[in-house]
Amino acid sequence: MIKPKPNQAFFWGILLNALYIIAEVTFGVVVGSIALVADAMHNLSDVLGLGIAWFADWLSGRQPTMKRTYGYKSSSIMAALINAVFLLVAMGAIIVEAVGRLANPAPIAGGTVMLVAGVGILINGATAMLFHAGQQHDLNIRGAFMHMAADAGVSLGVVLAGGLYLLTGWEWLDPIVSILVAIVVLVGTWGLLRDAMNLAMAAVPKAIDTVKVKKMITDFPTVVACHDLHIWALSTKDVALTVHVMRNTNCNNDQFLEQLGHDLRHTFDIAHVTIQVEYGDYQPLKQTDNPY
């Protein structure tokens, strides 16, 4: 199976969903379906999100400068934050509109709604697969995958609502589905917002266990203790680590640094490792001291 490069995935994802948005809004207005319009607005937010993520992905690849020694890697974290906040606002607006429609329900063309939403299942599902390969190691890519996969599920819900409307004639089904769409998106967006906030505040990425990292360091030959251990995200896919290590010898220091750095990078997928070696008698930290 050929895995698309990030640029190709973003391009095709944006193009497919932009065309689908035009179709959804057009049919939604014509048949009076707020569920279709709501789903189109969600897809619009996803397209804008994909655009922001694509720009951040490009920006994070630029070379470091004397002013920005880490380059622009953190732009991907900012993009994830922007996308999450945008989605929260958009879904809030949809819920308000849907509640208003509940008070004054109107008939819809159930067959047309089912047809348009059915196309959405195919488009959103295909777009999600474009980002499937890279979503485990990059918050930007994971956000794109999560939203597209959720959209496919939401479109399935709209299809079911259209079918039930044809069978029952219940006009309140359309706004109810709109509210369910918003709730599904809000639940998924909360996780994205939480992870992006943690990265923006220099928290340890959730894929890394600080206890295991510290254990690897302290169990390394000649190491008697470590302190000032810091792990944070440079971007949504690059992690940095700094640590002070106390050894019981000063022999083969270059080899020690090379091997420990190699083990940390490859075991925990840490891109930038900085180790400072200290010597002398080890004095255990007090309980009130910072253990890292």
Q: What is the pLDDT of residues 127-140, one digit of tens each?
A: 888 877 655 667 77
168-187: pLDDT as tens digits: 877 787 778 778 877 877 88
Q: What is the pLDDT of residues 250-292, one digit of tens each?
A: 888 899 999 999 999 999 989 899 999 987 655 554 544 554 4
* Tokens 């004054």, located at residue: 104
DSSP 231: E
Contact between 28 and 120 (Cβ < 8 Å): no
Q: How far apart are CA 155 and CA 158, in angstroms?
A: 5
The whole-angstrom distance between residue 162's C-alpha and the CA centroid of its chain comes to 31
Sequence-ordered strand ranges (E) for the chain: 223-233, 239-247, 272-278
Amino acid at 34: I
Give the phi and the psi of residue 70 in degrees, each rounded to 5: -95, 5
Which 3 state secondary structure label does DSSP give 155? helix
**C-beta of residue 248 within 8 angstroms of C-beta of residue 280:** no
The pLDDT assigned to 4 comes to 56
**Does the pLDDT value for residue 86 go beyond 90?**
no
Q: What is the pLDDT of residue 237?
A: 80
User: Who wins on pLDDT, 233 or 47?
Assistant: 233
Alpha carbon of 62 to those of 57, 69, 233, 237: distances in Å? Answer: 9, 11, 17, 15
Query: Do 178 and 165 contact (CB within 8 A), yes or no?
Result: no
Domains of the chain: 6-200 (1.20.1510.10), 210-278 (3.30.70.1350)
Structure tokens at 103: 């008070």
Higher pLDDT, 44 or 252: 252
The per-residue pLDDT for 287 is 45
Residue range 178-200: mean pLDDT, rounded: 82
**CA 78 – CA 163 distance, rounded (Å):** 41
Cβ neighbours, 10 Å, residue 268: 19
